[in-house]
Structure 1
Amino acid sequence: MGNRENVVGVIGGLGNEAMVDLVRKMAVVPGSGQNSYVVYGNSRLAYRPEEVGRIWLPGDGPELRKRATAAHTALVMQYLGCGAVGLACNSAHELFREVMADLPMLFVDMIHETARSMAGEAGKVLVLGVTSLVESGLYQQALKDLGVSAFGASPENQRKVMAAIYDTGFGIKTAKITAQSETLLCEVVRDEYERHGCRKVVLGCTELPLALTAESCARFKREGLLPEDVVIVDASAVLARTLVHAKGVAGSSDIAPEVCPGGHTDWFPPAAFAVRSLPELADVQSRIIDLTIVYLGQRGRTVEGSYMHLPTLFAAGTDEETVGRIKLLTENFMDVRGDWEAQLGPVLERHFGTAL
């Protein structure tokens, strides 16, 4: 294949709204147009709605499925020529560190990069994220290694964070941003600030920057919902800057991953597109999310978590060989300049036949 050092990969799907947010942030980084991109929104990496919030052991079905699916996803990225890969999910970093360890691709670690961006911070740092991420201590340890003290929210406040992300009525995972989720997150930051005097808050879940944007945080400070001197650290923005300028690993694999891998791997042929740019990619993915919401709404359902989204796969600015390889991997390749929205209906039907 071509020069893999300039093929940047993004693994998303946990959920796809956060992947869009990361891609849009990458698009405005100076120099982003010099790379080619492969973006795989593999929602089958996520927990199913009924599995969220439960404690699973490594040998349990959901964990075996996630591990096998992550390994297959990484092989797809290698086959499509990625030299450097980033992950649009904080809590899955521990899994992908293991999966990527023996593959010839640079894994750009969002947690380590975010910690490095805060080296030398004198005060306490609040880490916001899903419970599994906070309890794992990944951010706390990464910051401690750099001499920075970090902590998670109190149990009561952590429940508020989880509700803001996962509540099926108003949570961010329902593919909408509501005043309820914004209010809960502001309450958590304000309470922890008053208790501990933390001046910096790490958004350690890629869903959180969707609600706590730079614009909304400025408004919350004007309205007194957030302390004026609190600095919100967006880990997704740190990853975007680092990933765009990452020097990838040369080399490639001509061995195509199995299309129907079987075993514990959760596979659905992704809706795939070749696009000209990252902004176009983000627009198409956003439209797919909108169409998914409409599809479910017509059937009396809502987006109940990341797993509900349609898996997608994009090549942005890549060569014809990469596009050809994508076509070998999925039967659902669509022409972005054709009537792809009409083609999406039957694909959604098949997807939800296995996802619901």
Structure 2
Amino acid sequence: MKLIIFLICAHLVYSEFHTMITYTEISGKTTAGTPEFSAVTTLDDQQIDYYDGNTMELIPRKDWMKEFALKSKELWKDYSDIRQKLQQIYKLNITVLMQLNQSHGLRSYQRVYGCDWDNETKDSHGFDRHNYDGQDFISLDLKKFTYITPVKQAEPIVQKWNNDRTELELLKQYFGRGCFYWLNKFLRLSKATIEKADPPKVSLLQKNPDSPVECHVTGFLFRNTIISWRKNGQAMSDKLESRDTLPNEDGTFQRTVALYVHPDEWMKDQYTCVVEHKSLTESIQKILTEDEIKRNRPGLYVPVIKAVVVLIVLFVIWKCRN
């Protein structure tokens, strides 16, 4: 096994807690067109680079990551080469695992490793986990720097990895310094872009007067952005439905929170949709009023179609009688 340092995920640039994670996966058998190996880098749930066994190319997904790739061409090429080598290593690993487990068909091998850091308490720790078919398989005890496993079939692999003292020393260096170096570097690179980003856009939507009012927010950078409704300035916990957070093509997110309140109520009390996140200088608020609501306006084609259908029916009846 070789130490590969790549795929970094920094969690919440504006929070006090940060996490850097590496995700890789290889499948023992794939369908046509599906890559056997893939590696994705995310920054607070946003993809910043991507690699797979079909393209054989490391692709930056964010503008600041593209700048980093251009300024560090040799390093970027090394990262791409590392992924190609890692693909071969994992291909061998999953072949061995399938033989040990006497399994066939679609099988997957994943590795997740990285470190987290609390900027306030200065606490930090690393993690290194290997999964087979989504189940815990092997993990690295970073206190003793030895591999452990809950699976009997993995014991020969654990013994082999624990005997590789050179590799364990490299891992010790990575989790001692390297992991936190890259975590802070990517945090700095991304922070400049985040500070220049436009604020999210908030719209109040309603299909018809009897439908719930939906607070639709799009263009926010962080998946954990808080979107809520307030009644007369007080947070609400009922009569709400929060929809799934969806990605936009530009790497931002969108989400809708529906308010199930009759018009008589929100005309009597003040209801406000509030968007909050530490990256925003202040919360974004949209007060629910009749003027702020955007509704679907039915076109003239509906009554026209009904009129045409009635004429056709009358024509058919007249034809049959004559």
TM-score bracket, normalised by the shorter chain, equals under 0.3
Structure 1 length-normalised TM: 0.26
Higher strand fraction (1 or 2) = 2
Report which of the two structures shows the higher radius of gyration computed on alpha carbons: 2
Structure 2 length-normalised TM: 0.28
Higher RCO structure, 1 or 2 (CA under 8 Å, sep 6+): 1
